[in-house]
Amino acid sequence: MASAVSLLLLPSPRPLRRAAPALQHSRLASQPRLPSLVVGAPRVRPLAPPPRASNPNNDNDNNSGGAVEAPDRLVAAVAYLYPFLDGVHHGRFLLAQFPLFATLLSPLAPAARLFRSSPFTPFLLFLTLYFAVVRNQQAFSRFVRFNAMQAVALDVLLIFPDLLAQSFAPTGGGIGFELFQSMESTVFLFLLVCLVYGGGACLLGKTPRLPIVADAAERQVM
């Protein structure tokens, strides 16, 4: 009986306290994690680089860093013959005064005779250059179309000196006739410089920008 009373009077043992939650978390964090071996988990693939923008017009201009092909150079250079042959009659006074110009331009005589063989030839060449070359983005590069458009714009500008020559051409001598000769020779020299500079630059694969007509040609060629 006494032993039973002594057992009741003794303090009961305290239960063990659990470890602090922070200590448990630190122990778990210090343990290395094993890689996930879940079957069928999708793999993360790196993003592919965006595709390069393609050139739908197949432009081959030297400004973009690409080399101009030889056929494109030749076609672009030949286009500048059209305004020169259409306005070569403005050089009649200069060619008569300086026969050296006639000698230098003698290789172009067959082309000039063919150009003047029919009154419809200049108009047909104008339509061919504009609709078959300038507007044909699938067959010709921008290099060819831009130079062809410059040649067409030069020919359009010839309307003004032609109208002046037909309307106000003096018949006799005097200062009026001298001014008329100077105007005609200036127009011819301008066409000759455009032919030499434009054709030469095209043969070298460079894009010539002629005065007055370059901006208009740039707006027409897309």
* Residue 20: predicted pLDDT: 44
Indicate whether 8 belongs to any domain. no
Longest dimension (CA), the chain: 163
Indicate whether 158 belongs to any domain. yes
Domain assignment of residue 214, given as a range: 67-219
The count of other CB atoms within 10 Å of the CB of residue 29 is 8
Indicate whether 47 belongs to any domain. no
Position 38, amino acid: V
Report CA-CA distances (Å) from 11 to 6, 8, 34.
Answer: 10, 8, 47
Indicate whether 215 belongs to any domain. yes
Indicate whether 53 belongs to any domain. no
The pLDDT profile of the chain, 222 residues, written as one tens digit per residue, is 444 334 334 444 444 444 444 434 444 444 545 444 444 444 545 455 444 443 444 444 444 446 889 999 999 999 999 999 999 999 999 999 998 888 999 999 999 999 999 999 999 999 999 999 999 999 999 999 999 999 999 999 999 999 888 887 777 667 888 888 899 999 999 999 999 999 999 999 999 999 999 999 999 997
Indicate whether 40 belongs to any domain. no
| Predicted TM-score (pTM) above 0.75 | no
Count: domains in the chain: 1
Indicate whether 57 belongs to any domain. no
Indicate whether 111 belongs to any domain. yes
Please give the Cα distance from 114 to 58 (Å, whole number). 33
Taking alpha carbons only, the member of 131, 145, 132, 128 closest to residue 57 is: 145
Please give the Cα distance from 178 to 87 (Å, whole number). 19
Residue matched to tokens 């037909």: 166
- Structure tokens, 206: 């460079």
* Residue 176: predicted pLDDT: 80
* Residue 169: predicted pLDDT: 73
